[in-house]
Structure 1
Amino acid sequence: MYDYYLGGKDNYPVDAEAAELVLRGIPHGRGPALANRAFMHRAVRFLVQEAGVRQFLDIGTGIPTQPNLHEIAQSTDPAARVVYVDNDPIVLAHARALLHSTPEGSTDYVQADARDPDSIIEVAARTLDLSQPVGLSLVALLHFLPDDHAYDSVRRLVAALAPGSYLVLSHTTADFDPHSTAHALKVYRDGGVFLTVRSHAEINWFFTGLELTAPGLVPGGKWRPGPSPDPVPPTAGPTDLFYAGVARKP
């Protein structure tokens, strides 16, 4: 569905049907998906260009949509290394599109579940040097996990990373538009997909023990907006329907 919102071609009729049901209740529904993607691009550029991060662990990758995270990172530093993680076998079928690294850098794809962070860390260590800072990307993922898995997984993943690592996170909320969000939740749940929303305070808990970078946890389109090479600029205001933030492990 995310690929469909982004205008991609790697989706299936059932995805398109469900996405169109969401869009009937939220006519601006493509905006949050585009804004979320643009946030990820800006966050990765910030980590590479300003924070000096050269390694990334992206969990909940989804079907590849260009430019991918490694393309953003390696456009600044060709030696950047990226490990992608997803538990969807359909993503595995498309994984070759993720693996076109620069000769200097490297990319890898791991089929694993976000609810099993220890396995993710074990396999990621084959590509990433976990004694050095890593950018942990959990973009549009945690709203698919219930509280007991979501908070525990983030805590364990962050604990395994070196000081100076960063957490990049975006998460759906009902804080801006409860009616539209309730409609989207029903479509997902009717289709058998667990989806939840969390408040600003509940999402902020994911950053416990970390140092949020300015401007903090904010509507996604307002996280460091500005001139960007992204083909579609982020959507501002209540149509974001999600919060986004980046924080450093001290």
Structure 2
Amino acid sequence: MSLGSEWAPPGVDSTTASVARVHDALLGGTENFAVDRAIARRLKEAVPEVVNLVWCNRAFIGRVVDFLVREAGIRQIIDLGAGLPTIENTHEVAQFADPNVRVVYVDCDPMVEPHARAILNGNEHALAITEDARDAEAVLRHPRVARLIDFSQPVGLMAIGLLHLFSDKEDPHGLVKRYMAALPPGSYLAASNMLASVSPQAQALEAMLHVTMGTGHFRPRAEIERFFDGLVLEEPGVVHFPEWRPDERLPGPLATWEALLLGGVARKPA
């Protein structure tokens, strides 16, 4: 479904940029509008490495999902702020390991749900809902979520590439706690946030995100680690994305843009 003609599904404003669609444009996708592509260009002009950064984010998601299914034994996943499906999506990685893993995608962009339906193509173990991840109760009580997810069994909660979109006034730490409080012991949280830094790349990207998208809250390490309070961190802890269970040994020091991403995975104890 190419949007080159600027056709938009009902309820979608093609004149207002969306985080999901800007991300899609940075990945070279076609599910975006001129306004999204314009912002993607501005981000690349300000921080040329931003494309590498979003691909690094995708690779991290893939390794996390593979760990949750193959090693942690998780068989149901809720992916918050999932964005537009691209390649190596959560359900693809999870169901490659076990076809019966159930996956729910959550995003407030109304384009995500119809696009996901086309990608899922009748996949009875995966679905997408249009809901704001800020409203944990609405997400968890959504009737379609309730039909697919068994909340008496452990759940993998994904909040990767999402929390830096929320200001401190929106209390992202409290939001994570509300989600995890509703999930049973043995559930997992996979979360990340952009790392505050004195590097010119970090400051340029944060400033440009605020100018173009009105959001983008880089946080110090201690504030990112707080997302995992009360949980048991999996090795290697809260680290830069390339350092989290890499498929191959790291070739050397991190690139500057790789140092902008910090995340981890943790289990809810009994």
Determine if the TM-score, normalized by the shorter chain, exceeds 0.5: yes
- The answer for the alignment partner of 2:256 in structure 1 is 238
Distance 1:126 1:238 in 2: 44
Shift of 1:101: 5.9
- The answer for the alignment partner of 2:92 in structure 1 is 71
* C-alpha contact 1:174 1:198 (8 A) present in aligned 2: yes
* C-alpha contact 2:238 2:264 (8 A) present in aligned 1: yes
Structure 1 residue 16 corresponds to structure 2 residue 34: no
Q: One-letter code of the match for 1:113? A: D
Q: One-letter code of the match for 2:181? A: A
What is the TM-score normalised by the length of structure 1? 0.90
Deviation track 1:75-126 (CA, whole Å, cap 9, x = no partner) reads 0100110111111112234231343365xx5112111112110111112222
Shift of 1:195: 1.6
Distance 1:106 1:242 in 2: 30
Aligned residue for 2:171, secondary structure, equals helix
- The answer for the alignment partner of 1:120 in structure 2 is 139
Structure 1 runs of 4+ aligned residues shifted over 6 Å read: none
- The answer for the alignment partner of 1:232 in structure 2 is none
Shift of 1:23: 1.4
Distance 1:18 1:29 in 2: 12
Q: Report the aligned-residue RMSD.
A: 1.9
Distance 1:92 1:101 in 2: 13
* C-alpha contact 2:201 2:256 (8 A) present in aligned 1: no
- The answer for the alignment partner of 1:189 in structure 2 is 210
Consecutive unaligned residues of structure 1, counting only runs of 5 or more, are: 229-234
Cα gap change, 1:192/1:9 in structure 2, threshold over 3 Å: closer, same or farther? closer
* C-alpha contact 2:80 2:106 (8 A) present in aligned 1: yes
Which one has the largest radius of gyration? 2
Shift of 1:236: 4.2
Distance 2:160 2:118 in 1: 19
Deviation track 1:35-82 (CA, whole Å, cap 9, x = no partner) reads 110000000001111111010000101111122100110001001101
Aligned residue for 2:159, secondary structure, equals strand
Shift of 1:149: 3.1
Shift of 1:174: 2.5
* C-alpha contact 2:76 2:154 (8 A) present in aligned 1: yes
* C-alpha contact 2:164 2:194 (8 A) present in aligned 1: yes
Structure 1 residue 165 corresponds to structure 2 residue 187: yes
Consecutive unaligned residues of structure 2, counting only runs of 5 or more, are: 1-21
- The answer for the alignment partner of 1:50 in structure 2 is 71
- The answer for the alignment partner of 2:177 in structure 1 is 155
1:111 pairs, out of 125, 130, 149, with 130
Q: One-letter code of the match for 1:159? A: A
* C-alpha contact 2:117 2:127 (8 A) present in aligned 1: no
Aligned residue for 1:70, secondary structure, equals helix
Cα gap change, 1:219/1:47 in structure 2, threshold over 3 Å: closer, same or farther? same
**Higher normalized contact order (CA 8 Å, seq sep 6+, divided by chain length):** 1
Deviation track 1:99-158 (CA, whole Å, cap 9, x = no partner) reads 3365xx511211111211011111222210011111100010001111233112100000
- Percent identity, please: 41
